[in-house]
């Protein structure tokens, strides 16, 4: 294997690790957001924890394909404005909120930056847990 192939292989491993790391981060962030939003956590097994999002998020509708329970990797707080904006509204209702963190959320909203809003919301929730 020549040096170029070694570099390509190394880069591929790095990107696979980075994708896995980001997926795990989003899963834990999604769990934290679901708990902040008051989602119920029925006991299914010790390994798998789903959250009942029906009634927590208005974007989950009744119908033939309705879904009430979501695993952290199925949640879309980091990819959907419909999911994330309800969390933003909840953050702004918190009494004694850190307004620097609220300003960070507002700044990202003004820039139409979904990932920035998501990160600011996660920081806000983490600060509330202290």
Q: Assess contact for 86 and 37: CB atoms under 8 A.
A: yes
Q: Can you tell me the distance from the alpha carbon of 121 to that of 115, in angstroms, rounded to the nearest whole number?
A: 10
* Cα separation, 90 vs 64, whole angstroms: 29
CA atoms within 13 A of residue 51's CA, in its CB half-sphere: 22
Query: Closest by alpha carbon to 71, among 30, 115, 125?
Result: 30
Contact 123, 104 (CB under 8 A): yes
Per-residue model confidence (pLDDT) at position 55? 78
pLDDT of res. 52: 84
Considering its fold, how many domains does the chain have in total? Answer: 1
What's the CA gap between 49 and 32, in Å, rounded? Answer: 12
pLDDT at 14: 43
Q: Is the pTM of this model over 0.85?
A: no
Which helix (H) or strand (E) is 49 found in, with range? none
Low-confidence ranges of the chain (pLDDT < 70): 1-27, 42-48, 59-65, 130
Which residue in this structure is represented by tokens 């956590």? 41
**Residue 24, domain extent:** 3-129
| CA gap 94, 35 in Å, rounded | 15
Q: What is the DSSP letter of 67?
A: -
| 93-108 pLDDT tens trace | 998 888 899 999 999 9
């Amino acid at each position: 294997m020549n040096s170029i192939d070694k570099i390509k292989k190394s880069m591929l491993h790095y990107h696979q690790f980075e994708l896995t790391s980001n997926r795990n981060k989003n899963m834990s962030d999604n769990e934290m957001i679901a708990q902040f939003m008051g989602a119920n956590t029925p006991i299914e097994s010790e390994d798998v924890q789903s959250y009942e999002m029906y009634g927590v998020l208005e974007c989950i509708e009744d119908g033939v394909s309705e879904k009430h329970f979501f695993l952290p990797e199925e949640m879309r707080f980091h990819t959907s404005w419909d999911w994330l904006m309800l969390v933003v509204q909840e953050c702004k209702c918190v009494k004694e909120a850190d307004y620097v963190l609220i300003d960070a959320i507002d700044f990202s909203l003004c820039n139409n930056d979904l990932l920035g809003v998501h990160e600011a919301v996660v920081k806000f929730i983490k600060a509330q847990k202290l």
